[in-house]
Structure 1
Amino acid sequence: MRIGITGHTNLTDVGAELIYRALVQHLRSRDDGELIGVTCLADGADQLFARAVREVGGVYEVVLPAPDYRRVVPIERRRDFDALLAGARKILPTGEARSGPAAYVAANRIMLGRVEELIAVWDGLEHGDPGGTADVVTRARAADLPMTVIWPAGAERA
């Protein structure tokens, strides 16, 4: 089973804990063999997803938006990013030279093309930037990709 992730980067600590537990629960319910997660490893939901995949015994691939992507990760989260990147089964480049909207759109397009299901850690707000959570949800819906939205009661964006 190949499952992808899109989700908000700016989660509160309480929200992150609630979302992590919900991700683990959902992944346990979907694991009917080898679970492969596909993530862009953005701060927030993507990194929680990678940890949850690992917790349930799966592996994950990282679609890296651009070679300089690490610089957009908050300084205090780079150690976590580095550890998760090092734990990836595979790292897939987008071909984009620099991080930014074009790289994020490309990364999400690749991720969506590699999965059988999408998890959206999403508060349901329809606005957003290209390559952001709402944009990815729209693209997944247009492609009729099965999707589960995870936004447990008490989850908040920072």
Structure 2
Amino acid sequence: MRVGITRHRGLPEDIEEKARALLAEQVERFDAADLVGISRIADGPDAWWAEAVLKVGGRLEGVVSFWDRKPSCSFGGTADVVAYAERMRAPCTVVWEGGER
């Protein structure tokens, strides 16, 4: 089953532990063998959702990023998302004027 997340960035740090627990509870409702998580993998709940899906043995949809390969201007920018997707072993394609990476 493909399950996505819609989230809010910039959440207060003091709710991270509770939010991660709530996301883990939701992930555990699905059969891990069939679970495909869909996430932009931005900072906060998007990344926490992706981690929870992988932790139970699910997998992630691939990421296609339109990125100029420059560092992020702020935390959670495209460079951070691409690096995180690669660390999580999610299929990741970077598209830019110079072609795919």
Common fold, TM-score beyond 0.5?
yes
- Paired residues, number: 93
- For the 8 Å contact 2:33–2:57, the answer to whether it is kept is no
The gaps in structure 2 that reach 5 residues or longer are none
Deviation for aligned residue 1:60: 1.0
State whether residues 63 and 90 of structure 2, in contact with CA within 8 Å, keep that contact through their aligned partners in structure 1: no
Q: 1:16 to 1:3 in 2, by over 3 A?
A: same
Work out the CA distance in 1 between the residues paired with 2:17 and 2:34: 25
Q: Would the alpha carbon gap of residues 54 and 11 (structure 1) be closer, same or farther in structure 2, given more than 3 Å must change? A: same
Q: Which runs of 5+ in 1 are unaligned?
A: 98-158
* % same residue: 27
Change (3 A) 1:62 1:30: same
What do the CA deviations read for 1:86-118 (whole angstroms, capped 9, x no partner)?
A: 12332256x687xxxxxxxxxxxxxxxxxxxxx
Higher helix share: 1
| Counterpart secondary structure, 1:7 | coil
> More relative contact order in 1 or in 2 (CA 8 Å, sep 6+)?
1
Matches within 5 A, 1:1-150: 1-31=1-31, 33-68=33-68, 71-74=72-75, 82=83, 84-86=84-86, 87-91=88-92
| Shift, 1:66, TM fit | 1.9
Measured after TM superposition, the shift of residue 31 of structure 1 is 2.2
CA distance in structure 1 between the aligned counterparts of 2:53 and 2:66, rounded to whole angstroms: 23
